[in-house]
Amino acid sequence: MNAASMMRRLRLFGRYARAGVRRRRHVVALLIGLGGYGSMAVDAVAANWQLAFDPQSNRSLAEGVLFLLDKRAAGPELQRGDIVAFRPPAHAAALFPEPERLKFIKRAAGLPGDRVEVTVRDTRVNGVVVGEGLALAAFLQADVGFFVRSFTVPEGFLFPMGETEDSYDGRYYGLTPFASILGRARRLL
Protein backbone atom coordinates (compact mmCIF):
# COMPACT_ATOMS: atom_id res chain seq x y z
CA MET A 1 0.00 0.00 0.00
CA ASN A 2 1.44 3.33 -0.98
CA ALA A 3 1.41 6.51 1.10
CA ALA A 4 -1.30 8.21 -0.98
CA SER A 5 -3.79 5.35 -0.60
CA MET A 6 -2.96 5.15 3.14
CA MET A 7 -3.72 8.88 3.52
CA ARG A 8 -6.95 8.45 1.55
CA ARG A 9 -8.05 5.61 3.87
CA LEU A 10 -7.19 7.59 7.01
CA ARG A 11 -9.10 10.58 5.68
CA LEU A 12 -12.14 8.42 4.93
CA PHE A 13 -11.87 6.65 8.27
CA GLY A 14 -11.60 10.03 10.02
CA ARG A 15 -14.73 11.30 8.29
CA TYR A 16 -16.63 8.15 9.13
CA ALA A 17 -15.40 8.28 12.69
CA ARG A 18 -16.39 11.94 13.03
CA ALA A 19 -19.81 11.19 11.50
CA GLY A 20 -20.29 8.38 14.04
CA VAL A 21 -19.38 10.73 16.90
CA ARG A 22 -21.81 13.32 15.55
CA ARG A 23 -24.56 10.69 15.36
CA ARG A 24 -23.84 9.59 18.92
CA ARG A 25 -23.92 13.21 20.08
CA HIS A 26 -27.32 13.69 18.42
CA VAL A 27 -28.64 10.50 20.03
CA VAL A 28 -27.33 11.56 23.46
CA ALA A 29 -28.84 15.04 23.05
CA LEU A 30 -32.14 13.48 21.97
CA LEU A 31 -32.16 11.14 24.99
CA ILE A 32 -31.36 14.01 27.36
CA GLY A 33 -34.15 16.07 25.82
CA LEU A 34 -36.64 13.20 26.07
CA GLY A 35 -35.57 12.58 29.66
CA GLY A 36 -36.18 16.24 30.49
CA TYR A 37 -39.62 16.18 28.88
CA GLY A 38 -40.37 12.88 30.60
CA SER A 39 -39.52 14.28 34.02
CA MET A 40 -41.66 17.36 33.30
CA ALA A 41 -44.55 15.05 32.37
CA VAL A 42 -44.11 13.08 35.61
CA ASP A 43 -44.04 16.36 37.57
CA ALA A 44 -47.22 17.52 35.82
CA VAL A 45 -48.99 14.26 36.66
CA ALA A 46 -47.74 14.37 40.26
CA ALA A 47 -48.93 17.98 40.57
CA ASN A 48 -52.47 16.92 39.63
CA TRP A 49 -52.75 13.37 40.95
CA GLN A 50 -51.81 11.63 44.19
CA LEU A 51 -52.48 8.28 45.85
CA ALA A 52 -54.41 8.39 49.12
CA PHE A 53 -54.61 5.41 51.47
CA ASP A 54 -57.27 4.75 54.13
CA PRO A 55 -55.47 2.95 56.98
CA GLN A 56 -58.40 3.07 59.43
CA SER A 57 -59.77 -0.17 60.86
CA ASN A 58 -63.23 1.45 60.92
CA ARG A 59 -63.71 2.70 57.38
CA SER A 60 -65.78 5.77 56.65
CA LEU A 61 -66.59 4.50 53.15
CA ALA A 62 -68.08 1.03 52.81
CA GLU A 63 -65.60 0.07 50.08
CA GLY A 64 -62.17 1.34 49.24
CA VAL A 65 -58.76 1.39 50.81
CA LEU A 66 -56.72 3.02 48.04
CA PHE A 67 -57.86 6.16 46.24
CA LEU A 68 -56.52 8.25 43.38
CA LEU A 69 -56.79 11.90 44.35
CA ASP A 70 -57.51 14.35 41.50
CA LYS A 71 -56.22 17.67 42.84
CA ARG A 72 -57.66 19.59 39.88
CA ALA A 73 -61.26 18.85 40.89
CA ALA A 74 -61.98 20.68 44.11
CA GLY A 75 -64.38 23.32 45.35
CA PRO A 76 -67.49 24.72 43.73
CA GLU A 77 -67.56 22.27 40.78
CA LEU A 78 -68.14 19.31 43.11
CA GLN A 79 -71.43 17.47 42.85
CA ARG A 80 -73.49 15.86 45.58
CA GLY A 81 -72.27 12.31 46.14
CA ASP A 82 -68.70 12.93 44.93
CA ILE A 83 -65.99 11.39 47.07
CA VAL A 84 -63.67 14.15 48.25
CA ALA A 85 -60.42 14.30 50.20
CA PHE A 86 -59.82 17.20 52.55
CA ARG A 87 -57.71 18.36 55.46
CA PRO A 88 -59.33 17.39 58.78
CA PRO A 89 -60.85 20.00 61.07
CA ALA A 90 -58.49 21.59 63.60
CA HIS A 91 -59.90 19.71 66.61
CA ALA A 92 -59.08 16.35 64.95
CA ALA A 93 -55.57 16.69 66.40
CA ALA A 94 -56.94 15.40 69.70
CA LEU A 95 -58.38 12.27 68.04
CA PHE A 96 -55.80 11.22 65.46
CA PRO A 97 -52.02 10.78 65.49
CA GLU A 98 -50.15 13.07 63.09
CA PRO A 99 -53.21 15.08 61.98
CA GLU A 100 -51.04 17.28 59.73
CA ARG A 101 -50.41 14.24 57.49
CA LEU A 102 -54.02 13.08 57.62
CA LYS A 103 -56.55 13.27 54.77
CA PHE A 104 -60.24 12.70 55.38
CA ILE A 105 -62.03 10.94 52.51
CA LYS A 106 -65.83 11.33 52.61
CA ARG A 107 -68.82 11.88 50.34
CA ALA A 108 -70.00 15.41 49.60
CA ALA A 109 -73.48 14.85 51.06
CA GLY A 110 -74.53 18.49 51.31
CA LEU A 111 -73.57 21.41 49.09
CA PRO A 112 -74.26 25.16 49.40
CA GLY A 113 -77.99 25.80 49.77
CA ASP A 114 -78.81 22.26 50.96
CA ARG A 115 -80.84 21.78 54.14
CA VAL A 116 -79.21 19.40 56.66
CA GLU A 117 -80.95 17.83 59.66
CA VAL A 118 -78.99 15.75 62.18
CA THR A 119 -81.19 13.85 64.64
CA VAL A 120 -80.51 11.03 67.09
CA ARG A 121 -82.07 8.57 64.64
CA ASP A 122 -80.71 9.74 61.25
CA THR A 123 -79.14 12.50 59.16
CA ARG A 124 -81.03 14.00 56.22
CA VAL A 125 -80.02 16.28 53.39
CA ASN A 126 -82.97 17.96 51.67
CA GLY A 127 -85.23 15.38 53.34
CA VAL A 128 -83.28 12.35 52.06
CA VAL A 129 -81.65 10.06 54.64
CA VAL A 130 -77.86 10.03 54.12
CA GLY A 131 -76.75 8.50 57.42
CA GLU A 132 -78.09 6.73 60.47
CA GLY A 133 -77.57 7.38 64.15
CA LEU A 134 -74.79 9.03 66.11
CA ALA A 135 -72.74 5.95 66.99
CA LEU A 136 -69.57 7.90 67.87
CA ALA A 137 -71.18 10.22 70.44
CA ALA A 138 -70.22 7.91 73.33
CA PHE A 139 -66.66 7.55 72.01
CA LEU A 140 -66.40 11.33 71.78
CA GLN A 141 -67.70 11.50 75.37
CA ALA A 142 -70.55 13.80 74.40
CA ASP A 143 -74.28 13.66 74.86
CA VAL A 144 -76.04 12.78 71.58
CA GLY A 145 -78.17 15.90 72.00
CA PHE A 146 -75.03 17.99 71.47
CA PHE A 147 -74.91 16.87 67.81
CA VAL A 148 -78.63 17.31 67.03
CA ARG A 149 -79.15 20.36 64.80
CA SER A 150 -80.68 21.69 61.61
CA PHE A 151 -79.03 24.17 59.24
CA THR A 152 -78.53 25.29 55.64
CA VAL A 153 -75.09 24.76 54.10
CA PRO A 154 -73.63 28.22 53.36
CA GLU A 155 -71.65 29.22 50.27
CA GLY A 156 -68.05 27.99 50.30
CA PHE A 157 -68.76 24.90 52.44
CA LEU A 158 -69.88 21.29 52.10
CA PHE A 159 -71.37 18.79 54.53
CA PRO A 160 -69.23 15.60 54.42
CA MET A 161 -70.59 12.15 55.28
CA GLY A 162 -69.08 8.70 55.45
CA GLU A 163 -71.01 5.64 54.31
CA THR A 164 -70.74 3.72 57.57
CA GLU A 165 -72.49 4.29 60.88
CA ASP A 166 -69.26 4.81 62.82
CA SER A 167 -67.70 7.31 60.41
CA TYR A 168 -66.30 10.46 62.03
CA ASP A 169 -67.88 12.96 59.66
CA GLY A 170 -69.97 16.13 59.41
CA ARG A 171 -72.51 14.79 61.90
CA TYR A 172 -69.88 15.39 64.59
CA TYR A 173 -67.68 18.24 63.38
CA GLY A 174 -70.00 20.11 61.01
CA LEU A 175 -69.09 21.74 57.73
CA THR A 176 -65.89 21.63 55.70
CA PRO A 177 -64.71 24.75 53.86
CA PHE A 178 -63.98 24.37 50.14
CA ALA A 179 -60.50 25.79 50.95
CA SER A 180 -59.74 22.56 52.90
CA ILE A 181 -60.63 20.29 49.97
CA LEU A 182 -57.59 18.61 48.43
CA GLY A 183 -59.50 17.13 45.48
CA ARG A 184 -61.92 14.52 44.23
CA ALA A 185 -61.03 10.93 45.12
CA ARG A 186 -61.61 7.85 42.95
CA ARG A 187 -61.57 4.34 44.39
CA LEU A 188 -58.80 2.08 43.11
CA LEU A 189 -59.09 -0.79 45.62
Domain coordinates in residue numbering, the chain: 1-49, 54-187
What is d(CA 39, CA 16) in angstroms, rounded to the nearest whole number?
A: 34
Please report the pLDDT score of residue 20 as a whole number.
54
CB 113 within 8 A of CB 151: no
**54-187 has which fold?**
Umud Fragment, subunit A (2.10.109)
pLDDT over threshold 70, residue 39:
no
Cα–Cα nearest to 161, from 110, 89, 127, 112: 110
Written as one letter, the residue type at 33 is G
> What is the torsion angle, in degrees rounded to the nearest 10, for the CA atoms of residue 126, residue 131, residue 136 and residue 141?
20
Band of pLDDT at residue 95, cut at 50, 70 and 90:
confident
pTM of the model: 0.70
Helix (H, G, I), strand (E, B) or coil at 146: helix
Average pLDDT over every residue of 81-104: 82
Q: pLDDT tens for residues 103-119?
A: 888 999 999 999 999 99
